[in-house]
Each structure stands twice: as C-alpha cells, then as structure tokens.
Structure 1
Amino acid sequence: MSRVSSHAAPVAVPPDDAVPEYMRVLERAVPYLDDAQRQVLRRAWAVGARAHEGQFRKSGEPYITHPVAVAVVLAEQNVDLETLVAAILHDTIEDTPLTRAELAAEFGEQVAELVDGVTKLDKLQFSNRQEAAAESFRKMMLAMARDLRVILIKLADRLHNMRTLGAQSTDARERIARETLEVYAPIAQRLGMNLIKSELQDLGFSALHPMRHSVLRKRINAQPLVRREALSTIEAQLAQRLANEGLQYRLVSRVKSPWSIYNKMQSEGKTFDQVMDVFGFRVIVRSVANCYHALGVAHSVYKPLDGRFRDFIAIPKANGYQSLHTVLFGPYGSPIEVQIRTEEMDLIAERGIAAHWAYKHGGAPTSAQTRAHSWIANLLESQRATGSSLEFLENVKVDLFPDEVYLFTPKGDILSLPRNATALDFAYAVHTDVGNHAVAARVDRKLVPLRTKLVSGQQTEIITARSALPKPQWLEFVATSKARTAIRQQLKQLEHEDAVQLGHRMLDRALEDLGSSLERVPAARLEAYLGESRHPRLEALLADIALGNRMPSQVAHALAQSGGQGSRDGTRHFEKILITGSERGVITFANCCMPIPGDEIMGYHTAGKGIVVHRIECPNVTDYRKSPERWVDIGWDREVSGDFSVALRIEVANRPGVLAQVAAAVAQVDSNIDGVEYLERDSNVAAIRFSIEVRGRKHLADVIRRIRRLNVVHGVQRL
C-alpha cells in the first residue's frame, strides 16, 4: 500500500468530465496503480491546478501542463505514487502560495520532503546566477542523499524542459542546453538511466549546435542500401547460430545517436564514414550462464578483435551496469560491436536506479540504488570540506567521468575510479587518512610513485608513514574530487598552523628588540589590541603577521607601549628566525635565485605571501634593502626537511642519447627532475637547463659531481 495519505481532505477528487486530456494521458500511463491511488493522483492534479491558476508557460499553455508532463515521463519508469504526486506538485512551493506544511497535511511528509528537495533556492540573495545555480544544485544533492527519488523528479523535469526548449530565448536555450550536457546527462549516466541520458544528450546537442545536429541526423537516416543489407546479413547469421545452440534470445541492432557520433568524431578525430562503419548489436538472453554461452556463439560466427573484450558482468560499472562487450571482425571488413546481457541487466542498463523501484513494494534497494547512494555519500563527504558551491559543482563535474578503471585492494575488494586516476586517488578512495599519510604505492607488487596512473585489473596497495603530509604538488595530478578536496583542506590546516608558529616567532623577536616578550604583555592590553585590530583570537593575529598582512614591528610597538616596556639599551637584536623548510604555507622560496639549505639567505615580508626567501647574493636583494622594515633576518635550522628546487645549466655534446645519460645520472643521486629546457644548440654542443629537486648544498654538490663524470658533459653551472 502506498504511503501517501489518502484520508479525507479539503480538496475533493474531480469527476471524470472535469479532467482535461493532458491529465488523462497520465492516467493511461499508470496501469500499475489501483483505483484508490488513481484518486490520490487526481486530487494532486486538482491541488496543483488550483495553486498554478493564472500561470502560463512561455509557449502559452497553462503552467500545470508542465508538472503533469513530468509525471508522465516518470510513469513510463513505473515509479511509485509518492513520486508521481511530488512530480505534479514539484513547483508549488517555489512558484505558488502553497506551503510545505500544507503539502505535508494534504499528501504526507514524504511528498512534502520530495517537493522541497526539488525546490530551487531563488528566494535567497546570490551575487550572480552561477552561484545561485551551484547552491541550488548542492541543495538538490543533499536532498538526493535522503531520498533518491528527488533526482528522478529533477531529471524528468529537465527532460520535459528540454523537449519544450523552443519557447526560450537564444541565450537561455544555450545556457540550459550546456548545463544539461555538462551536469544532468552525466548524472543520468552515473545513475545508469541510459534512456533519459540519451534523450537529454540528443536534445542538448540539438539546442547547442542545431546545424550540426541536423546534418548528422539526415546522414544517419540516409544510410545506403548496401549498409542496410549488410546489417540484415550479419543479424541473420548471428540469429541462426544462436537458435541452433538452443538459446532463447532477443537480438536488436543498435543505431548510433547524433551526439555519440559527434563526440567520437571530435575526440578520436574520425570522419562520419569511419564512425558509422561499425555495426552494433545487443543480444538479450535468460540467464548469466546463457550470456557466456552466447559470447562463445558470437566468437564462433566471427573472429573477435584482440583486446576488445570487456566483462562488466563479473565487474559491474560503478552505476550498476552489467553486460559483456566484444568486438568482432565482420564479413565486410567493418567491426561488429556486440553487447550480451540478461533481461534484468537490460532493464537496469536502460532505467538505472528507476528499475524495479524499491519504494513501490517497500523492498530492499537494488544494487544500482545502493551504488548511487554510496556515490552521493562520497560527494557529500567532500562537500562538507568545500568552501564554495561553485567549487562543489566543479568537483561533481570532475566526478561524472563516463569511463572508470576497476582496481583490486590487497584483500580482493573492487574499487572503481575515474579514468586517469592515480595511486594517490586510490589512497583517498580507501580512506582520507590513508591519502593524507601516503608516501608510495605497490601496484601488482611493484613499488611506484603516487602520481602513477592506474589501469583496470591492477592490485594496488598504499604505503603510509605517520609523519607524511600532503604536498601542494599533489593537486596537479589527482583526478577525483574526493582527493582534491581532502588535500586542499589538509593544506589549509597545515598552512594555518605554520603561519601561527612563524608569526609567534616574528612577534616575539620584534618585542624582544623593545625589551619585552609576548608573555610580559598584560592580558588586558592584548585583548584590547585584538579588539581594535578585529582579530577574534591571538592565533588569527599571528597568522596575519606571518602572511605579511601586519608588520611585526608595528604590532610589537602597539603592544609594548602600554605594557610599561621600553627598549633595554636602544639597540636592535638581530637574532635570526630559523626555518626548517616545512613552513611551505607561509614561506616561499624565490624563483629568481632558488635558495636551498646551506645558502646564505634573507627574507622579505610581502603582503599576502608571507616571507619570500632569497639568497644573499641575489641581484634583487639590493632593491629590498630600500625597505628595511620589511627585511626579515632568517637562517636555516639544524634540521631541515623537504626537497628544494634548483636550476642547473649543463653543456653537453649534441648527439642522440645524451639527455637520457644526464637524466640517469641525476636519478642515481636520488634527485627528481622537474623540467628540461634547451637554452642553446648548435651542431656540436647543446646548453640545457635542468630544474631538479635537492635536499641542500651537499646533495647538490653530489649531483653536480655525478654529472661531471659523464664524458659527454662539457660543463655544469648552478643558475
């Protein structure tokens, strides 16, 4: 029995003669509902029609025709009564005086929750349209986490809007079509809803590039007779062999859509004829065992192409899709793509999370729904750490990769990640703490760096160290939003801690020059100063000092004035601030001179950047001496950690294989190469700039010594 309230209500059920044709279309589309449920559906229409009275669509039709059409789209998916009622009323909270409380009283809390989940946030004030759209999207994802039916209604709403896009202005058409192709069609794909995804893509493509869509559509429809005959011959041969083997099957030929053809032409640089020169068939059988039997039959009719077989039955896609894929070498020299699956797999492939809708009978969620829930849960985990809605929306777009790689943990569990995912993405997929402390990985038992891209079928294990921390460079090679968000959050945390510590040292030194210290400043004076400078806590002031937004000497003077302190002997004490190299968030090393541990250095206080470190002999230091108040006396601590960038100019004999010899020599001394650039080149000698990472001057000397030993090297010089 449906959970929609069907108690006596203020709104009466309209009689048959009061029901318009568009509502009758919906009633004909729900043969699976009983009479009592149909009465609730009709009452929902009456409530919606009354609420939207006087409102019209841009096409001129009464507004209520739109939500009813959305319900028709959903009825074709056999969804439950609550979803249909919520679809009919999905715009009432947003666009009419009807309230959430009134909806809950009339149709139950579940319906009110669904309608509220689909409702946009237009009532709030946003700085621009993008921010409003992104925040509405974030709200929808939160609602989806509570009830997946929210996204069913939203996708059906978007589909009907796309079908009736003609009434919109050119700008609106382009914006809506782009958003559909970038966000909603990929979400439908991620949730396994291929029928809706295909139509959204086709309508989006048609709205965005009408001429291209029209040309491709005409060329598909005007397929030559020869091709149609070839298709029939292949179909007959496959059908005959399947029947001979006693298999019960359905065989359908697949026609490519304009969007999929256009995408293939764009991404693979193929012509229309090359893309169309592929025959596609789908074989639907009774059981999983029959799938593998049918695969053997297909391979006996035509030879399979090597390396083109994929088993998505044993390892389903992240959206629950299951099928066997193989490519055969056809009789006309054209590839034949064959998909083999069961009836249930076919239903899930077409309808995804809407297949066998669990709420209808209160049953357990299907595997597709369980996967969808876990995907959304992961998104929301990253959302909590994301600063802005726009960043969250970008993260979701990154996560909507259509292609996945499937990887095994050491225990044999399967994880799916986007194509181009690295070992570091895998680490964060296992757990955020594993990612934050990762140092390397073992892929198929071989030790590899974290930036290594993974391919399907690999067994991956992450090596961690408690002392390891995320590095800013990690953001350059991770592919998943979960990894990117976790790294950014951790770096912000580390930067803040570094800034507070460094700011404390800088302020203490400035106060010492005035014969005081932070401990000797009266608490009342410190509180008063924090209030004046609008810093909520001392930590915020210290971080501001380190980041160059406040000068330590000015803060020290302000604090020491009322503290009864004065300079002990009128002179400044230049005790150096010692750095360990781990303060990367608030200390940057100048690109002009690339200082490394062991160099004589100075610091220059820059607003927003903190301290920029230069070598004393850097030509730019002369200019900085003109602002002594920004000069910071710094030196290297006894224990310095991390890798530091340095550039070498290496002159070598200009012949093949030299670059590899130099690179090998650098690697042998445990140094990484960041970049290589040819500076000069003639027939005999080449000057090359190597950007490398070293731990300090001694390590750099080892690298230079090793390079000089090569008989192809004429000279090495630090830049």
Structure 2
Amino acid sequence: MSVIILKKGGETVVNDVKEGLMKKSHYLSKEEKERLKVALDFAEEAHDGQKRATGEPYITHPIAVCEILLDYNADIITLISALLHDVVEDTPVPIPEIDRKFGKQVSNIVDGLTKVEKGTFKKVEYQAINTEKLLSASIEDIRVAAVKIADRLHNMRTLAVKKVEKKVPYANETLIFFAPLAERLGLYKLQEELEEIGFGYLDPPMCQSTQTLINNYANIFVKIYNNCSRELKKEGGALIVDLEWTKVPLYESYSLLQEEHDLSNLFFIKVVTSSTIDCYAALGVIHKLYKPLIHQMIDHISIEVSPFLRQINTKVHINNVEVNFIIQSEKDRNISDAGVFALLENSLTKKEIRGLSKNLLGESIDTVKAITTTPIEFEGLISFELFQKEITVYTPKMDVISLPEGSTIIDFAFSLNPQLAKRMSSARVNGAWMPINTAVKDMDIVEILTTNEEMVSSDWLNHAQTSKAFKEISDLLKIQ
C-alpha cells in the first residue's frame, strides 16, 4: 500500500490515511475493495497538488468523508461517490469520465453533489440554486444527501481553520439545514455531532452550561438506572436482551430546556428485546414494577412514523422521579443505528432507490418545485416544509399523517385525501369543533366532515401552510 509523504514545518510526516481507509472497509467483498481502491487512486491523482485550508493534501478530505460513511457500513456506490464527490467541482475531470470509469449510479450522485458554476449569481441566489440541485438529486437517489451530510460533518470538524466571520453562518446553516436532513435519513449520530459542533460555534457559553447541567443530572440518573436495571433483569428475565441508559443529544436538550426545566426528560432507559412481540411483554413488566403516567405511552411500532423509530415510549414514576423508557426490538435498534444504510441494499433497482428516497424525503420537494418559480422561493418554502419540526396527527381510525409544525386542519385534510378535502365543511379536533384554519398539534386526532359540494375558497390559501395543500387549492380554484 502506498503512502503519502509530506514535508511540513521541516518535519517529514507519513500520511497513512489510505491504509486506514482500506482497513475500515473490512465488511466489503474482495471485488468491492478493489473497486474502492481504484476510486481512491483516481481521486488522489485528480486532487494531486491541492491543499486544504488545514495545510493537508486535499485527498484527506474525501477520505475522511468516506470513513464517516464506512462507520455506517455504507454500500460500495456510496463509498466511491464519497471519494469522488469533489473531483468534478475542483479538478478538470468531467462527469462523462466518472460515468465511463465508475458507472451511471456514481456519476449521477457526483453530479448531484457538484455545485453549479458561480458565474454572476449573487451569494443568496447561488446558495439557493445549489440547494435545489442537491435536493432534486436526492429525491432520485438518497445517497446524494448521505454523502453531502458526511461532507458537511468533516467540514464542521475542521471549521476552526475558517475565518471568524465565516464560522457562525456556516454553523447556522448546519443547524438549520444539514442536521435536520441527517435526521430524515436516520443518521442520528451524524445529526448529533453536527448539532453539537454547530451549537458550540453559535453560542459557546450556553453550549457549555447546557453540557454542565446534563453532566450533573447524569450522576443522579445513573443511580436510578442501576436500581432499575437490577429490578428489570430480575422481573423480565429472558425478555430483555440488553439494557442501557441514554440521553437526549446536547442541542435538542438545550431546545427542550427552553420550553421546560425538567432535566428528567433528557434521559431514557432503553430496553432491547429479541422480538417485536416481546416489546409489549417488556412494557407490561415495566408498568407492573413502576406506576405509569397517564397519556405518556406512545406506540410507534403499531403506528409507525419512521422506519428508524419503531419503538414504544412510556414514562413512569420511580421514587417520585419521572423516568422515560424506550422499548425496542434488537432488529429495530440495529435499523435505528444504521439509518438509511439499513435500507440500502446492493440489489435495489433505480426505481426502488427512487421509491426509498421519496419515502424518506416525502412529496415536498416535487410539490414545492411545482408551485415556485425561483430557487430562492424554493429554498424558503422547502426549509419550512422539509426541515421544520414534524408533528404526528391522527385520523379517528388512527391513520398517521405527518406534517410540519404550524400546519392547519386544511393541510391535514389535503395530506389525508385531496378529494375529501375539497368537500370539507367543518372539523373536529380531539372531539371538539374547530375552525378549519386551526393549527393542529402533535398527537391531535382530527375528524373531517364533508358535504356533497366543493367548499374550496380563495381564503383557504391564506391558511394553507404546506405546498401540497397550496397546490391542490390553487389547481381547484383555476378549474372553477
């Protein structure tokens, strides 16, 4: 294995990052390792002579991005794309050459990651154009977004070398755009690190004080966990495969503490069982041992809101302290840990990959593109719709509708069924009559009442928050 020898500060430094990369690829087949090595050599040659702001050879960056994805056991297409993600943008190598050497899937991903020529675009417009290009490519192949998230994480890890005036905007964009995108893909470890680094740059004192609060309460919670662990193992026996305690990520903890000052909501005891059915048995054991709090049990196994969060949440009283539990099967924990890469199999067809991509990103990208005329408009609306905190709203039959926070009954109705929505005359929320412009809240149960006539009016546009509702209403009004 070749190594890169650098002369820096009068000292010879042996860079063995290539060897380290190949060692981390141990889960790949022999043929896949060969393909990865070819891509690594190609990227190294393409970036030859280029340096990062850190003074390191540029190739260390795509290697670091690839290593982040190797930690998730990413597929070979993703890994090759990670190594080549800056080749077209920063070197003379064109997309057709990537296509010839590495195939259409890789070239499409690299193309989606390559920014457009800057030209005469103003900074805000240029950023919006590239945001639209990235998301449009991601809806075709979710691996575009995965590589971009890993790219952003490595850049955040080395953000200290940037000029002071660039650090805060870069960190802010990370918190607003890239961390929520990572959450969409179930890449929770990457999301947590993106948020923690970004928070540290945006508000260092608050970041430190929040971390101190968490650390102090952790000492108390560990004692609660140790007692629970003994009792659960004794009572639950073979039901329980694993027990661990976990905490809410730092930045999310800060957000929660702004709403309420209850530190107990920042910590969880996770109970892992061997099967889904055992999750319910474990829930029974927990509720037998400890007094459950009313209306605090949420079943995201039978009512799934995300393939990465199939679990039961419950809250109980233990010695006058409220304690949160997560109950998950071993299979679902593994999927949660692997995120999107648990769903990406090498055998997936182009159509299946697009289906998976649309399932994870939803319809927002297509609908927002249909109702906006400029990239700036697109970026503004998609930021609300795709990256706003998501709420779960139910029909009376307990069908799940996921909406951006701030959505109204009108948005709920069009997301549920546009044909039903256009005949909506009134609605009940949790059994109470409410105006259809009422904002719905997380866990609300909404019932839509209809007539035989279409009820859509231009006033509905003033209260529609989602692109789907806005487009459907606009189209109906044009027909009228």
Moved more, 95-104 or 343-352: 343-352
User: Hey, what does 2:184 align to over in structure 1?
Assistant: 190
1:112 and 1:351 map into 2 onto residues whose CA distance is: 25
* 1:212 is the counterpart of 2:206: yes
Matches within 5 A, 1:491-502: none
1:4-61 Cα offsets, whole Å, 9 max, x none, are xxxxxxxxxxxx1347511122211111212222122111111111111221111111
* 1:166 is the counterpart of 2:171: no
Within the candidate set 234, 258, 263, 1:275 is matched to 263
1:365 and 1:247 map into 2 onto residues whose CA distance is: 39
1:457 and 1:66 map into 2 onto residues whose CA distance is: 46
Instruction: Return closer, same or farther for 1:145/1:224 CA change in 2, 3 Å cut-off.
Output: closer
Instruction: Return closer, same or farther for 1:369/1:31 CA change in 2, 3 Å cut-off.
Output: farther
Task: Name the structure where helix makes up a greater proportion of residues.
Answer: 2
* 1:351 is the counterpart of 2:338: yes
1:260-301 Cα offsets, whole Å, 9 max, x none, are 221112233x2xxx3257642111111111000000111111
Instruction: Return closer, same or farther for 1:464/1:53 CA change in 2, 3 Å cut-off.
Output: farther
User: Hey, what does 2:8 align to over in structure 1?
Assistant: none
Instruction: Return closer, same or farther for 1:435/1:54 CA change in 2, 3 Å cut-off.
Output: farther
Gaps of 5+ in 2: 5-14
User: Hey, what does 1:43 align to over in structure 2?
Assistant: 38
Residues 405, 454 of structure 1: 8 Å contact kept: no
* 1:302 is the counterpart of 2:276: no
Instruction: Return closer, same or farther for 1:17/1:121 CA change in 2, 3 Å cut-off.
Output: closer
Tell me the CA shift for residue 319 of structure 1.
5.5
* 1:458 is the counterpart of 2:441: no
User: Hey, what does 1:240 align to over in structure 2?
Assistant: 234
User: Hey, what does 1:292 align to over in structure 2?
Assistant: 280
1:90 and 1:341 map into 2 onto residues whose CA distance is: 36
Matches within 5 A, 1:423-442: 423-431=409-417, 435=421, 438-441=424-427
Matches within 5 A, 1:29-428: 29-126=24-121, 128-222=122-216, 227-243=221-237, 246-268=238-260, 270=261, 274-276=262-264, 279-318=267-306, 320-331=308-319, 333-358=320-345, 360-362=346-348, 370=356, 372-373=358-359, 375-399=361-385, 400-408=387-395, 413-428=399-414
1:314 and 1:366 map into 2 onto residues whose CA distance is: 24
Instruction: Return closer, same or farther for 1:302/1:430 CA change in 2, 3 Å cut-off.
Output: closer
TM-score, structure 2 as length reference: 0.88
Instruction: Return closer, same or farther for 1:226/1:95 CA change in 2, 3 Å cut-off.
Output: closer
Look up the SS of the partner of 1:17 in the other structure: coil
Tell me the CA shift for residue 420 of structure 1.
4.3
Residues 439, 465 of structure 1: 8 Å contact kept: no
Instruction: Return closer, same or farther for 1:371/1:340 CA change in 2, 3 Å cut-off.
Output: farther
Gaps of 5+ in 1: 1-15, 498-719
Instruction: Return closer, same or farther for 1:172/1:357 CA change in 2, 3 Å cut-off.
Output: same
Residues 385, 486 of structure 1: 8 Å contact kept: no
Look up the SS of the partner of 1:188 in the other structure: helix
Tell me the CA shift for residue 239 of structure 1.
2.7
User: Hey, what does 2:435 align to over in structure 1?
Assistant: 449
2:131 and 2:150 map into 1 onto residues whose CA distance is: 15
What is the aligned-residue RMSD (CA, Å)?
A: 3.0
User: Hey, what does 1:22 align to over in structure 2?
Assistant: 17
Residues 51, 98 of structure 1: 8 Å contact kept: yes
Residues 385, 489 of structure 1: 8 Å contact kept: no
* Relative contact order, higher structure (CA 8 A, sep 6+): 2
1:392 and 1:78 map into 2 onto residues whose CA distance is: 33
Tell me the CA shift for residue 384 of structure 1.
1.6
Look up the SS of the partner of 1:362 in the other structure: coil
Look up the SS of the partner of 1:327 in the other structure: strand
Look up the SS of the partner of 2:410 in the other structure: helix
Look up the SS of the partner of 1:79 in the other structure: coil
Instruction: Return closer, same or farther for 1:159/1:374 CA change in 2, 3 Å cut-off.
Output: closer
Give, as a single letter, the amino acid of the residue that structure 1 aligns with 2:254.
Y
Instruction: Return closer, same or farther for 1:119/1:295 CA change in 2, 3 Å cut-off.
Output: same
Give, as a single letter, the amino acid of the residue that structure 2 aligns with 1:351.
A
Number of equivalences = 468
2:219 and 2:412 map into 1 onto residues whose CA distance is: 50
Tell me the CA shift for residue 104 of structure 1.
0.8
Look up the SS of the partner of 2:116 in the other structure: coil
Residues 177, 208 of structure 1: 8 Å contact kept: yes
Tell me the CA shift for residue 388 of structure 1.
2.2
1:165 and 1:37 map into 2 onto residues whose CA distance is: 32
Instruction: Return closer, same or farther for 1:59/1:91 CA change in 2, 3 Å cut-off.
Output: same
1:101-125 Cα offsets, whole Å, 9 max, x none, are 1111111111111100111224343
Instruction: Return closer, same or farther for 1:279/1:82 CA change in 2, 3 Å cut-off.
Output: closer
1:136-188 Cα offsets, whole Å, 9 max, x none, are 11111111121111111111111111111111112211111111111111122
Residues 409, 415 of structure 1: 8 Å contact kept: no
Give, as a single letter, the amino acid of the residue that structure 2 aligns with 1:344.
K
1:497-553 Cα offsets, whole Å, 9 max, x none, are 9xxxxxxxxxxxxxxxxxxxxxxxxxxxxxxxxxxxxxxxxxxxxxxxxxxxxxxxx
Residues 279, 337 of structure 1: 8 Å contact kept: yes
Give, as a single letter, the amino acid of the residue that structure 2 aligns with 1:287.
S
Tell me the CA shift for residue 197 of structure 1.
1.4
Instruction: Return closer, same or farther for 1:223/1:436 CA change in 2, 3 Å cut-off.
Output: closer
1:182-220 Cα offsets, whole Å, 9 max, x none, are 111112212322222111111111121122222333443
User: Hey, what does 1:717 align to over in structure 2?
Assistant: none
Look up the SS of the partner of 1:215 in the other structure: helix
Residues 424, 450 of structure 1: 8 Å contact kept: yes
Instruction: Return closer, same or farther for 1:460/1:367 CA change in 2, 3 Å cut-off.
Output: farther
Give, as a single letter, the amino acid of the residue that structure 1 aligns with 2:228.
I
Moved more, 151-160 or 386-395: 386-395
TM-score, structure 1 as length reference: 0.60
Give, as a single letter, the amino acid of the residue that structure 2 aligns with 1:181.
L
1:196 and 1:63 map into 2 onto residues whose CA distance is: 22
Instruction: Return closer, same or farther for 1:328/1:475 CA change in 2, 3 Å cut-off.
Output: same
2:411 and 2:353 map into 1 onto residues whose CA distance is: 24
Tell me the CA shift for residue 226 of structure 1.
5.0
Give, as a single letter, the amino acid of the residue that structure 1 aligns with 2:148.
K
Tell me the CA shift for residue 366 of structure 1.
9.4
Q: Percent identity?
A: 29
1:369 and 1:240 map into 2 onto residues whose CA distance is: 45
Instruction: Return closer, same or farther for 1:376/1:338 CA change in 2, 3 Å cut-off.
Output: same
1:485 and 1:389 map into 2 onto residues whose CA distance is: 17
2:274 and 2:415 map into 1 onto residues whose CA distance is: 36
Tell me the CA shift for residue 364 of structure 1.
11
Instruction: Return closer, same or farther for 1:467/1:281 CA change in 2, 3 Å cut-off.
Output: closer
Residues 437, 470 of structure 1: 8 Å contact kept: no
Instruction: Return closer, same or farther for 1:253/1:466 CA change in 2, 3 Å cut-off.
Output: same
Larger Rg: 1
Residues 422, 454 of structure 1: 8 Å contact kept: yes
